[in-house]
């Protein structure tokens, strides 16, 4: 009984707290709700479209099945798959080479010239800000449609991430071996070659392999906007309403992606695993 006063006192304090809480966030909530409502309206969302679309979808699936495997035997698709793979592979290699130098010139501990560093950082930040889709649209103006434009777009599109990760890895190396070589009279380039690179190359290769996975997906959709490769075949099949062809191509694309991912995962584990174990 004697706790009752205490309880009501507590409750009053709690109520007070809740009220203040709501007052504090009421305005924020209102703005959020208005923003959401306005966005919703601008999207022109009509849920009934889902219902009316069901027959279309059933028809589409009906036309897709069975997939037209014939389309794969022409040789045309095989070439396109190769083109996509090559686009991703060559693009990643060039991207990695670019990133290698950008990364070194952006790392504080190996590049003392601040303007050079800032410039490299700026280039990489700019690249990260521009989606690969925009890059290819600009490149198509330059060098026209085709896998060449796709490859260049992939190479440029890789440097933002790879270069930044590489620069960060360089900045986090153990500085003591650098000093010990410096004490023996080594030049800056020798320091980079014999004390920095041995510490960072495994992670650089692992990151590049990961980037290859990403670039393979990029190569697929670049085909749709004019970059060539299997993405283009898929786009054409869909545009001509050849849904059975499209499904066959999609299955191939999925297989390609899954295989590439497994392969690069395996290599990455081998490289990083080696780094940890021995």
Partner 1 sequence: MLKLQKVSKKLPDGRMLLKNISFEVQKGEFVGIVGESGVGKTVLLRCINGLTIPDSGDVIINGEDRPQKINGKKGRELRMMRRRIAMIFQGSILVKRLSVIENVMTGKLGQISTARSILYGFTDKEAAEAVEALEKVGIAHLAHRRAETLSGGEQQRVAIARAMLQDPYLLLADEPVSNLDPKNAETVLEYMLPLTDRMAIIGVFHHPEIVRRYCSRAIGIKDGIVVYDGSPDLDQSVLQEIYGGGTEPAVKAVSCF
Q: Which residues bind partner 1 (CB under 8 A)?
A: 174, 176-177, 179-187, 189-190, 193-195, 198-199, 202, 275, 278
Shortest Cβ distance from residue 244 to partner 1 (Å)? 53
Question: Beta-carbon neighbour count of residue 64 at 10 Å?
Answer: 17
Shortest Cβ distance from residue 201 to partner 1 (Å)? 8
Residue 53 or 273 having the CB closest to partner 1: 273
Shortest Cβ distance from residue 173 to partner 1 (Å)? 10
Residue in this structure with the two tokens 């970059």, named with its chain if needed = 227
Residue in this structure with the two tokens 């703005």, named with its chain if needed = 31
Calpha distance 88→90 (Å, rounded)? 6
Shortest Cβ distance from residue 241 to partner 1 (Å)? 57
- Sign of the dihedral through C-alpha 96, 99, 105, 108: negative
Residue 17 or 193 having the CB closest to partner 1: 193
Residue 45 or 183 having the CB closest to partner 1: 183
Using an 8 Å Cβ cutoff, are 132 and 157 in contact? yes
Q: How far is CA 158 from the centre of its chain?
A: 9
Q: Give me 216's structure tokens.
A: 């393979």
195 Cβ contact partners less than 8 Å away, ≥ 6 residues apart = 173, 177, 178, 180, 181, 186
Residue 51 or 184 having the CB closest to partner 1: 184
Shortest Cβ distance from residue 277 to partner 1 (Å)? 10
Residue 109 or 199 having the CB closest to partner 1: 199
């Amino acid at each position: 009984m004697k706790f009752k006063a205490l309880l009501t006192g507590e409750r009053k304090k709690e109520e007070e707290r809740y009220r203040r809480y709501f007052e504090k966030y009421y305005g924020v909530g209102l703005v959020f709700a208005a923003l959401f409502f306005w966005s919703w309206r601008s999207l022109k969302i009509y849920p009934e479209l889902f219902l009316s679309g069901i027959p279309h979808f059933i028809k589409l699936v009906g036309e897709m099945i069975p997939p037209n495997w014939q389309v794969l035997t022409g040789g045309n698709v095989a070439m396109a798959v190769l083109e996509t793979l090559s686009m991703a592979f060559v693009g990643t290699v060039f991207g990695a080479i670019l990133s290698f130098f950008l990364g070194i010139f952006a790392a504080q501990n190996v590049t003392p010239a601040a303007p050079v560093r800032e410039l490299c950082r700026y280039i990489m930040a700019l690249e990260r800000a521009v989606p690969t889709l925009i890059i290819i649209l600009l490149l198509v103006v330059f060098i026209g449609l085709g896998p060449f434009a796709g490859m260049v777009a992939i190479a440029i599109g890789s440097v933002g991430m790879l270069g930044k990760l590489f620069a960060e890895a360089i900045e986090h190396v153990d500085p003591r071996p650098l000093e010990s070589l410096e004490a023996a009279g080594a030049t800056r380039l020798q320091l980079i070659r014999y004390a920095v690179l041995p510490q960072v190359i495994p992670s650089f290769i692992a990151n590049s392999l990961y980037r290859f996975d990403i670039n393979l997906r990029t190569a697929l959709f670049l085909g749709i906007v004019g970059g060539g490769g299997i993405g283009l075949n898929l786009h054409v099949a869909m545009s001509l309403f050849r849904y059975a062809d499209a499904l066959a191509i999609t299955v191939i694309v999925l297989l390609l992606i899954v295989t590439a991912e497994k392969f690069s995962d395996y290599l990455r584990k081998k490289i990083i695993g080696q780094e940890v174990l021995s």
